[in-house]
Structure formats: C-alpha cells, structure tokens
Amino acid sequence: MHHYLNYPANRSYHRRFAIAFIALTLTACGDNNMNDLHDWVDGMKKRQKGTIEPLPEIKTVEPFLFKPEDIRDPFMQTDRSEMAEESKGDNGIRPDTTRAKEELESYELDTLRMVGTLNQQGQLWGLVRATDGTIHRVRLGNFMGRSFGKIIRIKEGQIELLEIIPDSPGGWRERKAALDLVEASGGKK
C-alpha cells in the first residue's frame, strides 16, 4: 500500500525539503534594507534631551536632647504616697449598671434625631426617631445613647442629656450632650 515511505531515498527527500523551506524562510526575514531602523535611531539621538530638576535642599534638623532626670522611671516601684495622689481622681461618678436598660440606649446618640415635642397634660415629651424609623416618646429622667445619657431638660427645639463617660483607668466623668430638633428638610434648626 504505502510502500514508498519505506525507501530511504524518500526520507532524505523530505529532510532536504524541510531544510530548504527553513533556509528560504530565514532568508526572506533577513532583509538587508534596515533604513527604517537607522532613521528611527538617528531621530531618537537628535531629540532634545530633557533636564532633570535639581535635588531639593536638605534641611538640617536640630537634635533633641533627652534629659531623663525629671521623669519617673516606669520600671521602679512607686511609693504609697504617690499612688494615693493618683487615686484621688475618683470623684464618685459612676454609671448605674444594675438598672434595666431602656430601648434608646441601644443606639449611638449621634444616630438618634429629635423630630418634635408633645405637650400632654402639662408635661413636655420629646419625640425621637431611631435609625429604624420608629418614633419614641421620651421625658425627663429617660436614658438615651450608649454613654448612659440621662435626659435632664426638654425644650421646644432641643433635648439635653448628661452622659457618663470613662475618663481615666477606673474613673468616670460627666459630659453634657444635646439632640437638636431636625427640620422636615433634613437640616438642623
């Protein structure tokens, strides 16, 4: 059937054909006319060279002289009189952690919005909108926010609170805060 493949002469013919094809291909790629390349290189050499900006001036910094004579060594044990002075920061202010938390204490104060007031039987209530859209009625003595904020005054345009926040290790301090009435347009009054 294909007995011509068995002849050694046919194999050498195929090899010679492959070598001739490769040689012909390489000669076609090796065009000696490289004028375009030389023109491009010459053009790049003739281009005006850019300038490099000078380095910025280095400013000298005066060294800081550390004098540890006036500073207490943190690794030395302090005497009891110094410790007594440091513990004087306890002013007796502490949040009541035993009372039941009110619903508005689960929100950060800055996420709550005062949307109005309600005068009911001579008592002024504040209307506060939570982030979920629910409107809550609050009165003097209610708590709001996560910093133990107790409502101390309700006015037509503002709810004032007294918060208890951590001050120093183991210490607390009071801070005044307020919610201002938000107008219907979304801005503050």
Q: 141-153: per-residue pLDDT in tens?
A: 999 999 999 999 9
Indicate whether 12 pLDDT > 50.
yes
What is the domain count for the chain?
Answer: 1
Q: Which of 10-24, 74-88, 159-173 has the highest mean pLDDT?
A: 159-173
Q: Can you give the residue range of the structural domain that contains 165?
A: 103-180
Answer yes or no: is 15 within a domain: no
Q: What is the pLDDT of residue 133?
A: 92
Please report, for the domain that includes residue 173, its CATH number. Answer: 2.30.30.830
CA distance 163 to 143: 9
Answer yes or no: is 28 within a domain: no
Answer yes or no: is 113 within a domain: yes
Answer yes or no: is 131 within a domain: yes
Q: What is the pLDDT of residue 187?
A: 46
Answer yes or no: is 162 within a domain: yes
Pairing verdict, β 172-180 and 149-155: unpaired
What does the block give as tokens for 109? 């104060």
Q: Which residues contact 137 (CB under 8 A, 6 or more apart)?
A: 118, 125, 126, 127
Answer yes or no: is 38 within a domain: no
pLDDT band with cut points at 50, 70 and 90 for residue 189: very low
Indicate whether 98 pLDDT > 70.
yes
Which single residue is written with the structure tokens 């920061």?
A: 89
Answer yes or no: is 129 within a domain: yes
For residue 188, give the DSSP letter.
B
